[in-house]
Every structure is written in structure tokens, then in C-alpha cells.
Amino acid sequence: MTTIKFDYSPLTKFVHENELPEIQKMVTACDDELRHKTGAGKDFIGYVDLPVEYDHEEFDRIKKAAAKIRQDSEVFVAIGIGGSYLGARMACDFLNLNYGNWQKDHEGPIVLFAGNSISGTYLQEILDLIGDKSFSINVISKSGTTTEPSIAFRVLKKKLVDKYGKEEAAKRIYATTDKAKGALKTEADAEGYEEFVVPDAIGGRYSVMSAVGLLPIAVAGGDIDKLMEGFAAGREAYSNPDLSQNEAYQYAALRNILMRKGYNVEILENYEPSLQYLGEWWKQLAGESEGKDQKGIYPSSANFSTDLHSLGQYIQEGQRFLFETVVMVDHPKYDVEIPVEEEDLDGLKYLEGKNMNYVNEQAYRGVVIAHTDGGVPVMTIHIDQQDEFTLGQLVYFFEIAIGISGYLNGINPFNQPGVEDYKRNMFALLGKPGFEEQTNEIKQREGDFF
């Protein structure tokens, strides 16, 4: 069963009907490399078969740990950065779990995210929010030495120990890390933290459907069984390389066709505020996978209709290097009827008695027509509703599409060598051991900029 429909009908003025068939041979070759793990980055393609090859014993332990946390904690803090937090944060928003966490009669903890910045203000606000409440933490890091989550873990671990004592604190720390090595693995073994595994064959930005994302999602109240069912449905739906059948591959191929025509910035858009973090997750997935070798589509995001009042003018009449991909929810969770009033001071008489979702859909339709007429290609990914099954399928849609898209562009979509450049400079400036030779050079360069 598929709950996703990909519509690229507005592209007729931008993509000729022969172009998709012409790229089929390349798509088939890329699919073969991906499925048989012979292409670049082959050691990190485990996400392709994860829906059927995940560790069922660990999956059960995740559900048990989540049930325990939901019983003994008023606050749960997931500590991670990049792929170690964006997927879980995206899922919690997508499934509308965050607002419920703040209701007085809500069962389960408030779920917060830390370690995704170096802001002392942000972390202090989390500490203040925890206050004297019962809490647990999940530190997510393959190495255990990534700066941002390591700082947050030190601070929150101290609060746990101060509140509960070292022995009881250890029972409230859950470590998601490498299965065999690393600083966090060493500490977790020594202190007795419950451990979950960051899979070797899955890169961080592809890891939301592993323990990395599943524990926070389950603690927030998400049904991870349904999530994995949808993930498996995605694998089944997008396994055929035939472009007439595989909508995820259609998306991958069309974005490459558009890029080669000069449309090198993609805006992922939504009409539901709870999809904002879908855009944040997708930006890492696409940007970190494709932005290398001076190639790649720049990933951006926008939240409509809100951003139509800020970015809409540029999209409509600015430089023509943009294309848009809309994620549209066909059956939103709730709806609100527009009330009837005696006077028409706000000019809404013509909308009285209509529902907001109807108005939202007409806004979407109007935007597609206007932007297409203005020279901006628009594609739409229609999703039936915002539930776990649909989210699992949507995650697979994007992950498999970005893998194929990277191969179509001749790059390795599973590494991220450029991410380390700023870290080396930062470590040199901070005086980290092992970076002494770079410190003087970096400090001299610092004077050129600051």
C-alpha cells in the first residue's frame, strides 16, 4: 500500500516528454550500483535494506526502554547533532507529538533536544525547564567526542548525578553509539548505561529509522511498529528502477534534469507548520549527500503560506535558478470552520462556513499556477496524512531518491569530507591537543578576518 503520490505535471514547460526516458539507462545503472553495493560509498548503503534487516531484538529493547522512560520521567532529553537528532525531531513534529507533551493530562515526558548547538543560553534554558522534574537522557554519538553533544552530555550528566547520585543516574542514561569502540562506548560499558547501536553501514543522515531516531520517537509516543511498516512499504514501492513505475526515482531524475538546465536551488515547501523540521532533516540529507566536488543542488526550505509573505516575491520574480518541491498533506489531522459574523469588516464573508483546509488547498493551487507561469518549476509529493506509516514511507522515498540522485551526478552521496574543515580550525583556536601545529597558522589567518 502506498500513501504517497508524486505529481510533476506542472513541469511540461520545463522538461520535454522524451527527457525522462532518455535518462532511464543512467538510472538503471545507478540502481544496480545501489542495490548491489558496488558504487561509491558502498560501505554506507545499509539503509537500503534496513526495513527488512533491522535488529529485532534491539527493536524490542527500544520499546521497553521507551515504556520505562515514559513511566519514570517527566522530561526526556535527546542529545545529538545533525543526523543524530534531526530525524527524531522531524518525526516528533510530523506526528504532532510536541504539543501533546505540554498538556497537563498528557501521559509521558516532555521530549527536548540538546547538543545541537554550542549556545550556553539554549542549554541553560533546558536546565531551567527540567528544574526539579524527574528526567532521563539519551546521548547519541557514534564516537562520543563530537563537540556539541559532548558538552551537553557533560552538563546534563552532572545534573543527573547531582539529583540522583551516580548509581541511579546511570540507570537514566541511554547511550546510542558504536557497537564496539569509541569514547561513549567505553564510558557506557564502564558505567552500565543501557546501550543501543549506531549501525556501521548507515550514515548519520540516513539513520532516523535505526535506534538513533527510534528511541526518542517512541518516548514521545510514536508507534514505531507502524513507522517500520511504512518504511518497509517504501522499500517495496521504490524497488523497481523503471521510471514509469518508481516515483522516488522520477523525483531523483527530474531534479537532476532541472539542475542541468540551471535550476540549482531546490526549495522544499509545506503548507503545514508541523512539517517545518521535515525541511530541516531533508536539507541535511540532500546537502550533505550531494554538495561536493563543486556539484550539487543547494537545498533550501520554506513554510507556506507563512513564507509567501516574505520569500514569495523573490520566488515569483527573482532570478530563475530555483525549483520547488511541495510536500502536501491531502487529509490533515484537524480542520477549523471559519465562523459567520453579522458584519464583514475583515472582508471574509465569501469564506464564511468554509473550512481552513479548503482555503489552504486553494492557496497551494494558486501558488503552483503563479510560480509555474513565473518560470519556476514545481513538483508535488502528496502524502495522504501525517501518521507513522506515511512517515516511514516518506523517509524511504527521500533516502532512496537522494542516493540515486547523487550517483546520477557522479558523486559519492554517502560521505561528507567537507564537514571536517571548520572543525580543524575551531580545534586549533581552542588549543585542542594534537592541533598545535595549526594553531599559529590559524591565529595569523584569524587576523585577516576579524
Marked catalytic residue, from 195, 288, 324, 388: 288
How far the first Cα of the chain sits from its last, in Å, is: 57
Nearest CA to 327 out of 401, 287, 391, 275 is that of: 275
SS3 category, 86: helix
The whole-angstrom separation of Cα 74 and Cα 84 is 22
Marked catalytic residue, from 5, 64, 158, 423: 423
Phi first, then psi: give them for residue 391, nearest 5 degrees. Answer: -65, -45
288 in catalytic set: yes
What are 151's three cell numbers?
558538552
CA 51 to chain centre: 17
Nearest CA to 34 out of 25, 21, 47 is that of: 47
What are 121's three cell numbers?
543560553
The whole-angstrom separation of Cα 237 and Cα 370 is 32
Q: Is the peptide bond before 305 cis (omega within 30 degrees of 0)?
A: yes
The whole-angstrom separation of Cα 310 and Cα 304 is 10
Buried b (16+ CB within 10 A) or exposed e, 219-233: bbbbebeebbbbbbb
378-383/4-7 β-pairing: antiparallel
Contact (Cβ atoms closer than 8 angstroms) between residue 139 and residue 174: yes
181 in catalytic set: no
State the catalytic residues: 288, 423
